[in-house]
Amino acid sequence: MPNISVCIISFNEEKKIEDCLKSIQTVADEIIIVDSLSTDNTLKIAGEYTDKIFHQKFLGHIEQKNLAVEKASNDWILSLDCDERLSDELRDSILKIKDSLDQADAYRMPRKTFYIYRWLNHCWYPDLKTRLFNRNTSHWGGTNPHDHIITRGSNIIQLDGDIYHYSFDSISDHLKTIDSFTEIGADELIRKNKPINVFSPLTHASWTFIKLYLIKRGFLDGFAGLVVSVLSYMHVFVKYSKAYIKYRQVELERKSKG
């Protein structure tokens, strides 16, 4: 039976990390935590479940998660965030296939989000995530902060059950994340030299709202669905606006030097 290393990155997650760790007890043969220098009780709580805790100043979501994978002793990796946990059904699904993990290149599962006061059944669901993979053929990639698993194989099997994602406790929490994530996202757009014009914030943001609220039927998630769709619009609008302003600032600096 292949062993599974569960890899988690953390930073000041004392309110959520224990529920995450409890949910993986029966499937984890090893727990790896890479912590970004937490100042709360995260490390104390984590220490009750594993002694394999590594301290690393935050390098970026992709870099931090790949570091956790490198620290693992086993080839098969289950990667979770502190605000995520395995549903009972998903945990059973993993245990059923644990003897034959090599039949696939990787495994994906739906992620279901609890947003402030209710589950989102539409606008952010099923939000399929590849989280169980062999590190010899897969790694974390994408664009910070929106990371995802890149695997060389094409045989990716979907498991029954959900990752439960306890995302934001309040609108204020969501707004704080938007501010930090849009800064990272804007820098990534510039790094990749993405073409951006004055209309880009509006066009990209409008498509995001239409997709979440209408196409994915976020309106069926009630008021929470409306809030998520509007704040997702805001997220994209601010990200592209920041990138556009950064481009303009660089142009102005060049002109002033010329």
Give the model confidence (pLDDT) of 126-179 as tens digits.
999 999 999 999 999 998 888 999 999 889 999 999 999 999 999 999 999 999
Total of domains in the chain:
2
Q: How far is CA 228 from CA 55, 165, 201, in A?
A: 33, 15, 18
Say if residues 73 and 5 touch (Cβ distance below 8 Å).
yes
User: Which domain, by its residues, includes 162?
Assistant: 4-166
Positions of the chain with pLDDT lower than 50, given as ranges:
none
Same domain? 34 vs 158: yes
Q: Tokens 């204020």 belong to which residue?
A: 172
Q: What is the pLDDT of residue 258?
A: 64
Say how far apart CA 13 and CA 83 lie, in whole Å.
Answer: 8
Same domain? 9 vs 134: yes
Q: What is the pLDDT of residue 135?
A: 95
Query: Which among 133, 24, 116 has a CA at the least distance from the CA of 69?
Result: 133
**Which pTM value belongs to this model?**
0.92
Same domain? 102 vs 197: no
Amino acid at 194: K
Q: What is the pLDDT of residue 67?
A: 98
Same domain? 69 vs 177: no
> What region does 78 belong to: left with phi over 0, alpha with psi -120 to 50, or beta?
beta
Say how far apart CA 198 and CA 179 lie, in whole Å.
Answer: 20
Same domain? 36 vs 79: yes
